[in-house]
Amino acid sequence: MNNKNVETVLAQRPLGLAFDFDGTLSPIAPTSEQAQLYPGVTDLLQRAQKFARVAILTGREIEDGARKINLDGLTYIGTHGLEWSDGLPWLHEVHIAPGALQHTAAGAYLLDLVAARQADLPGVVVQRKRVGGSIHYRLAPDQQETRQKLLELLAEPARRVNMQLSEGKRVVEIRPPLAIDKGQALRQFAQRNALRGLIFAGDDRTDLDGIMELAELRQQGLATLAITVRHHDTLPALLQHADIVVDEVPGMVALLRDIIEVVECS
Ligand SMILES: [Mg+2]
């Protein structure tokens, strides 16, 4: 890891380390319930906490994401930036983006539409969140057809109730019409902690907002490092804008271990 940029970022204090969860610290599993932290990561996150402010930045609802990691003292940011908590959300206050809760009913209505059509959508899993939710079609026999059916079913009703549809890998997301994304969440994380350096790692479309925001923060004087975790289907823009690309979750975990050893030995 003889990268000048890496050394510069790691020398900053306060330093922030922010990670996406699924596909970054946890291999993609058939269902989101089955996903687990890669072996050894809990220990690495604990060691990282000694020199950095560590955040988990997930599209999962905050409690769901935090349960998967279950380490107090990390910052948990859920639903792509809609909720955050300094520490485990059942022990510490959960902050919710202003204006988000007024879209709870609209989100539930759209998820109900999908649930009512479940017989016609085999393999589809509806995951409800505090506001909006995710509709996973990874287990559908015909993923492309299922994606098309979901988008057709939801496009007009979503427009009518003023909710946004977005997509990740084999998932359609129902989100409130607010300017909230992982980029804005990273900026707030940096501001709240007066960070001088920030590393962020992710693997999916929603992480691109975070990676692009790092470039903005760098313009404003922060030392930043963007890591893309490459899978066979990674969006080209994520590879293009990354400072470092690692291969799959084991590659990410190896890099995290290197980063920690560099700091611990310095
Ligand atoms: Mg991910």
| Sequence ranges of the domains in the chain | 4-97+180-265, 101-175
Ligand 1 center–CA 34 separation, angstroms: 14
pLDDT class for 112, splitting at 50, 70, 90? very high
Ligand 1 center–CA 97 separation, angstroms: 21
Please check the confidence at residue 3 and state whether its pLDDT lies above 80. no
Q: Report whether 124 contacts 150 (CB < 8 A).
A: yes
Ligand 1 center–CA 116 separation, angstroms: 28
Q: Report whether 137 contacts 118 (CB < 8 A).
A: no
Q: Give me the count of residues in the chain.
A: 266
* pLDDT at site 4: 77
Q: Report the run of H or E that residue 137 belongs to, with start and end.
A: none
Helices in the chain by DSSP H: which ranges?
4-10, 41-49, 62-69, 104-116, 143-160, 182-192, 205-219, 236-241, 248-265
C-alpha dihedral over 109, 115, 116, 118, to 10 degrees?
160
Ligand 1 center–CA 169 separation, angstroms: 9
CATH superfamily of 4-97+180-265: HAD superfamily/HAD-like (3.40.50.1000)
For the segment 21-30, the average pLDDT, to the nearest whole number, is 96
Question: What is this structure's pTM?
Answer: 0.94
The percent of residues above 90 in pLDDT, for the chain, comes to 97
Ligand 1 center–CA 67 separation, angstroms: 16
Ligand 1 center–CA 81 separation, angstroms: 14
For the segment 66-88, the average pLDDT, to the nearest whole number, is 97
Q: What is the mean pLDDT of the chain?
A: 96
Q: Report whether 198 contacts 222 (CB < 8 A).
A: yes
Ligand 1 center–CA 250 separation, angstroms: 14
Phi, psi of 43 (to 5 degrees): -60, -45
Ligand 1 center–CA 23 separation, angstroms: 4
Q: Which of 95, 92, 169, 162 is nearest to 130 (CA)?
A: 95
Q: Strand, helix or coil at 143?
A: helix
Ligand 1 center–CA 201 separation, angstroms: 9
Ligand 1 center–CA 22 separation, angstroms: 4
Ligand 1 center–CA 203 separation, angstroms: 5
Please check the confidence at residue 2 and state whether its pLDDT lies above 80. no
* pLDDT at site 1: 53
Ligand 1 center–CA 29 separation, angstroms: 11
The string over 215-242, giving b where at least 16 C-beta atoms fall within 10 Å of a residue's C-beta and e elsewhere, is eebbeeebbbbbbbbbbeebbeebeeeb
Ligand 1 center–CA 265 separation, angstroms: 30
Ligand 1 center–CA 26 separation, angstroms: 8
Please check the confidence at residue 77 and state whether its pLDDT lies above 60. yes
The string over 68-95, giving b where at least 16 C-beta atoms fall within 10 Å of a residue's C-beta and e elsewhere, is bbebeebbbbbbbbbbbbbebbeebebb
Q: Which of 3.40.50.1700, 2.40.37.10, 3.40.50.300, 3.30.70.1020 would CATH assign to domain 101-175?
A: 3.30.70.1020
Ligand 1 center–CA 36 separation, angstroms: 13
